[in-house]
Amino acid sequence: MDNPRNPFDAFGIGVVDDSAQLGQQLSASLADHRGLIELSALAVLFDTIGGRPFYELDESTSSLQARVIMSALHRPAVTDRLVSSGQIRMNDDGYGTTTADITTSAGVLVTTGLTRNVRVGRSSTSRDQIGALADPEPRPLPSTDRNLSGHKIIEAIAHGDHPIGPIGELVDGSIAVLDGATRFTSVTAPWMANMMGTMHGGVIGAIGALACSFGAQAHTQPGTEYQILDFDIGFYRSPAVDGSPVHVDVTPVKVGRRIGSFEASMRTDDRTLLARATADVRFMPR
């Protein structure tokens, strides 16, 4: 979406059929550099539905997620319409645990997991403004050359010879290849803000998951596809959304033929730690 107002506009999130249920209209605008939907595209919806039930128990004070844990099941199609549900499993006023599910409109479970909720006592600038679901906007999908290694694909993106993908463009991203790591940089923008004026946790999650996806791509062999199965991110500081960059360095923990594990750290220019994540990825024939 051009010039989104907030994370919900940007990620196609809205109210389902005039109900209280939140949904998401996927589109090519949320696809990655392969033309596929990864967990990065679902992070804003997941963070929101994982925090909303806890927040609504006491709307007089703000709350946020300290940790988000997402597991991918079936990969959704680029044009699927999704619905979400969240249920509080534990609440002691200051802290909570909420489970969340995201399914297709046909009832296929695509993502499940949990969030750790905490009340922070900060004032909110406004309540989240979430409208109705919009129709998907058509645009061409990118693809990658199955004959290239992932390292070559990442180098091509870093040098501007391959598109970073629509979701990478959405968060104003770029890639750098470091010694033993892949760095994904996103330039912050006002639309990324939560109701407290700093970056929405779901956007932090989306940037972190996208970085882990590029980190995994860097280790694929020719003719190999991959998918993030599990993504776990802890939030330490919420960055400002004033045009300053955030950098996510992704390093492999172990990469095998079928499964790879990766670690990621999100930092500011002055190396302040914002978030830390882990991702488990499966590799399969393309």
pLDDT in tens, 83-130: 999 999 999 989 999 999 999 999 999 999 999 999 987 655 555 678
CATH of the domain at 212: 2.40.160.210
Query: Average pLDDT, whole number, for the chain?
Result: 94
| Percent of the chain clearing pLDDT 90 (strictly above) | 85
User: Is 139 part of any domain?
Assistant: no
Q: Please give the average per-residue pLDDT across 226-231, as a whole number.
A: 98
Listed in sequence order, the residues at least 6 apart from 10 whose beta carbon sits closer than 8 Å to its beta carbon are: 1, 4, 44, 170, 191, 192
Residue range of the domain that includes 173 = 7-123+147-285
User: Is 128 part of any domain?
Assistant: no
Res 195: pLDDT? 86
Structural Rg of the chain based on CA atoms = 18
| Percent of the chain clearing pLDDT 70 (strictly above) | 96
User: Is 195 part of any domain?
Assistant: yes
User: Is 2 part of any domain?
Assistant: no
User: Is 137 part of any domain?
Assistant: no
User: Is 263 part of any domain?
Assistant: yes
Residue 21 has pLDDT above 90, yes or no: no
User: Is 202 part of any domain?
Assistant: yes
User: Is 34 part of any domain?
Assistant: yes
Res 130: pLDDT? 81
Residue type, 233: I
pLDDT in tens, 177-208: 999 899 999 999 999 999 889 999 999 999 99
